[in-house]
Amino acid sequence: MIRRAKIICTIGPASRDPETFRLLVDAGMDAVRVNFSHSSHEDAAETFRLARETARDVGRPLAVLADLQGPKIRVGVLPEPRSIEQGRTYVFEALHDADAGASGGAIPITYPDLTAEMEPGDRLLFDDGAIAFVVEETDGTRVTARARTNGTLQSRKGLNLPGKALAVPSITEKDRLDLQFALEHGVDYVALSFVRRAADLEELRGLVSDDVLIIAKIEKEQAVQNLAEIVSLSDGVMVARGDLGVELDFEEVPIVQKRLLRLSQESISIGITATQMLESMTHSPRPTRAEVSDVANALLDGTDVVMLSGETAVGDYPVEAVQTMDRVARRIESETGFLDEPSDFGPRDSRSGVHRTVPGAIAGAAVEATHRLGAPFLITLTTSGFTARLIAAQRPRVPILAVTDNERTYRQLALAWGVVPIHHDEAVSYDGMLSHARTYAFEHGLAEPGRNCVVTAGMPFHEPGTTNYMRVEKL
């Protein structure tokens, strides 16, 4: 059985050696994430190399996603971890230099406008909310706050300021350098952290070519308020539940997840569910029952992709984590009715018009014809990948064989739900690409000669977004 949902693995010290990397691919990894919050350019280059070489060796695509750090506010450099005691007051100093230390025993914060943003009663939440403070007063470059929890604060830990619309750039100077590096290495996807509004995505789009796909990470309250316009300008959206669960009340996160996954599906945007999906497997060979249910429910909600972070980057059981994700996905997808409509949040037509366009109508008709004919799969001939993603959003009950002559599209489709990418490296023609799909299907046991299948394409070829052709062919 071909797994429909796809798996992204964050690559780090636990998974960057060639042997482990290959085992991750064998276990079911479809894409690699380079997290520039923690990855040096040297390490990132090694990950890019591994992805390309391993994909060539196994004969199937691996997409590469560059995750930009964004304007993350962090603790500066501490001489040693600071013990925090509930009820005590602590002083935080706003710094212009992220590598500088604070004076007089204060805790350094890498945000020079901290005092201008803070007022008495505001919250400072560190390490995904594990350590909390309430502001009592501000003075110059310093903020005095009282601890609401016990804990140990370490250098570089993240700081969230819930409810604050911070005046920080969406793309930092570090992001620009990391982006340039990633583009030079042929990255397939770029994820923008801490997106707040559509303008953030427009700025990033101006820095990349049209064939690089953009993922908007939803982890700020402002982003939740602007979901529709953010989704409309992105090629994918990620429910980044770590920071989102700090910015919002925790009980709101599941609702946002469901809304976002439905909205992404309707808008032909790849939906990714991330953060703490199999967190316990960072140090345990088996997941908790709650984690298995979390992954299963994300799949039932309609997520295109599930993502592993620390589990594969720094965990003790990276391969077992991917195997677990693969097992859960296959079990859910084998269940009768798993493609039924998930619970809705309003009329579909009020939120997205893409399904009512000519390409959307062709895609819908192709899926319906495939089901009525009992075809074993659906073939799409695509240059940009749009046709394949449009059909995937219709959730057909059979695999989508996507034939493309574009190598980057071939890799990007590794993240498209239900899609089996096929690279056509000969002259582009309808008959040639169809023949390539037939050969692939027969060699992989997907069908026998004589069966009907439905083919969709955009004519003429090499004009993205022109899905206008459907035909029934006999294999």
Q: Which of the pair, 25 or 141, is modelled with greater confidence?
A: 25
Smallest CA-to-CA distance from 426 within 414, 442, 416, 437 is with: 437
Catalytic residue among 4, 217, 241, 259: 217
Task: Find the mean pLDDT for residues 336-362.
Answer: 63
- In this structure, the answer to whether residues 362 and 436 fall within a common structural domain is yes
Beta bridge partners of 89: 146
Tell whether 347 is covered by a domain.
no
Tell whether 390 is covered by a domain.
yes
Annotated active-site residue 351? The verdict is no
- In this structure, the answer to whether residues 190 and 107 fall within a common structural domain is no
Tell whether 346 is covered by a domain.
no
Residue 247: its pLDDT value, please? Answer: 86
pLDDT value at 4 more than 70: yes
- In this structure, the answer to whether residues 78 and 61 fall within a common structural domain is no
Catalytic residue among 275, 312, 456, 466: 275
- In this structure, the answer to whether residues 39 and 146 fall within a common structural domain is no
Catalytic residue among 4, 6, 33, 72: 33
Q: How far apart are CA 61 and CA 75, in angstroms?
A: 39
Residue 97: its pLDDT value, please? Answer: 65
Task: Identify the domain boundary among 298, 333, 368.
Answer: 333
What is the reported pTM? 0.92
Task: Find the mean pLDDT for residues 275-291.
Answer: 96
Determine if residue 127 is left, alpha or beta; phi over 0 gives left, psi from -120 to 50 gives alpha, anything else beta.
left
- In this structure, the answer to whether residues 61 and 79 fall within a common structural domain is no
How wide is the angle at C-alpha 35 spanned by C-alphas 126 and 106, nearest 5°?
30
In tens, the pLDDT along 305-337 reads 999 999 999 999 999 999 999 999 999 999 877
CA atoms within 13 A on the CB side of 449: 2
Sheet with strand 142-147: strands edge to edge: 73-74, 158-160, 123-126, 131-139, 142-147, 89-94, 107-109
Q: Give the count of domains, the chain.
A: 3
Annotated active-site residue 456? The verdict is no
Q: Mapping DSSP to helix (H, G, I), strand (E, B) and coil, where does residue 108 land?
A: strand
393: domain CATH number is 3.40.1380.20
Annotated active-site residue 33? The verdict is yes
Q: Which two tokens stand for residue 226?
A: 């602007």
Q: How far apart are CA 422 and CA 400, in angstroms?
A: 10
pLDDT value at 352 more than 60: no
In tens, the pLDDT along 412-448 reads 999 999 999 999 998 889 999 999 999 999 999 999 8
Contact (Cβ atoms closer than 8 angstroms) between residue 111 and residue 72: no
In tens, the pLDDT along 24-81 reads 999 999 999 999 988 999 999 999 999 999 999 999 999 999 999 998 888 988 889 9
- In this structure, the answer to whether residues 208 and 277 fall within a common structural domain is yes
Q: Which two tokens stand for residue 42?
A: 């040297």
Domain that holds residue 394: 353-474
Q: Which two tokens stand for residue 33?
A: 């994430």
Catalytic residue among 3, 72, 74, 411: 74
Give CA 132 to chain center in angstroms.
Answer: 28
Expressed in angstroms, the distance from the first to the final Cα of the chain is 20
- In this structure, the answer to whether residues 104 and 64 fall within a common structural domain is no
117: domain CATH number is 2.40.33.10
249: domain CATH number is 3.20.20.60
- In this structure, the answer to whether residues 224 and 235 fall within a common structural domain is yes
- In this structure, the answer to whether residues 109 and 22 fall within a common structural domain is no
Annotated active-site residue 74? The verdict is yes
Q: Which two tokens stand for residue 322?
A: 């991917």
Q: How far apart are CA 378 and CA 8, in angstroms?
A: 24
In tens, the pLDDT along 358-412 reads 888 899 999 999 999 999 999 999 999 999 999 999 899 999 999 999 999 999 9
Residue 117: its pLDDT value, please? Answer: 87
pLDDT value at 342 more than 50: no
Residue 249: its pLDDT value, please? Answer: 87
Contact (Cβ atoms closer than 8 angstroms) between residue 332 and residue 296: yes
